[in-house]
Structure 1
Amino acid sequence: MASTSVSRVLPASPQHVWDLVGGFDALPDWLPYIPESTALEGGRIRRLTNPEGDTIIERLIAFNETERHYTYAILEAPFPVTGYLSTLRVHAVPGREDLAEVQWSGRFTPDGVSDGEAESLFAGIYRDGLDALHRALSA
């Protein structure tokens, strides 16, 4: 099993960041790669569409409002992995109420690619996503 994790300190309070990213169906609010999200099964499943029209279906596995994190699994996607499980977390930065650290991590089994190729793919997705989140918070 392969894994990767990317984190970034952002110029907003942890609660403000969580208010933007904490909704499982909120990706279009801050992630340009996902312009469309449809909540299914009472919000436990999200059907995402990227700009190329590809569909990604994900299931919410765990959600913790108090600790500001959720974990999800990919059920269907055009990625070369199986068994994908990812967590998005918002942490407080000690001594700084105006900053938050966001960590996006995942583990998965590469399918048809090396561990390094799969890790690089998701590290890029997470990094681009956190860059987009930074832009959304700075706008």
Structure 2
Amino acid sequence: MAEAFAALDVALPAAKVWQLIGGFGSLPDWLPYIPKSEITDGGRVRHLSNPDGDPIVERMLSFSEASRSYSYAIMKAPFPVTDYVSTLSVVEKGATACRVEWSGRFVPAGVTEQEASRLFAKIYEDGLDALKAQLAKKT
């Protein structure tokens, strides 16, 4: 099983950052790579599309408002992995600071563990860079 991880330290309260990214359908609000998100199955499944129009379908596995985190699994996507499970969380680091953490575990399919890990680490890093830019616009 391969893994990927990225983190971003933010000089804002955790509640404010979670307000932007905590909704399971909120990816288009901060992640330019995902211009569209449609929620189905009572809020547990999101249907995304990337800029090329490739479908991505993800199922929420867990959600905690109290710990400001959710985990999800990919059901369909154009990525060379199976058994993908990821967690996005906002960790409080004081009254005016937090850390956004995005991690995933998956089984490579047709690529090495290192290639799959690099792919998702890059996706997470690019996503957190986009979040940083979006948060800068809001402050």
The answer to whether the superposition gives a TM-score over 0.5 is yes
Partner of 2:50: 50
Q: CA deviation at 1:12?
A: 1.5
Partner of 1:41: 41
Partner of 1:123: 121
**Percent pairwise identity:** 52
> 2 CA distance for matches of 1:138 and 1:130?
12
> 2 CA distance for matches of 1:116 and 1:75?
22
Partner of 2:15: 15
Aligned partner of 2:95 among 83, 97, 122: 97
Q: Structure 1 residue runs of 4+, over 6 Å off?
A: none
Structure 1, residues 72-115: CA drift from partner, whole Å, max 9, x if none? 0000000000000000010011xx32221000000000000000
Q: Which runs of 5+ in 1 are unaligned?
A: none
3-state secondary structure, aligned to 2:95: strand
CA contact (8 A) 1:89 1:103 kept: yes
Partner of 2:105: 107
Residue correspondences, number: 137
3-state secondary structure, aligned to 1:83: strand
Q: CA deviation at 1:134?
A: 0.5
One-letter amino acid matched to 1:25: G
Q: Which runs of 5+ in 2 are unaligned?
A: none
> 2 CA distance for matches of 1:74 and 1:11?
31
Q: TM-score, normalised by structure 2?
A: 0.97
Of 118-127 and 96-105, more deviation after overlay is shown by: 96-105
Q: TM-score, normalised by structure 1?
A: 0.97
Q: CA deviation at 1:11?
A: 2.6
CA contact (8 A) 1:3 1:119 kept: yes
Q: CA deviation at 1:10?
A: 1.4
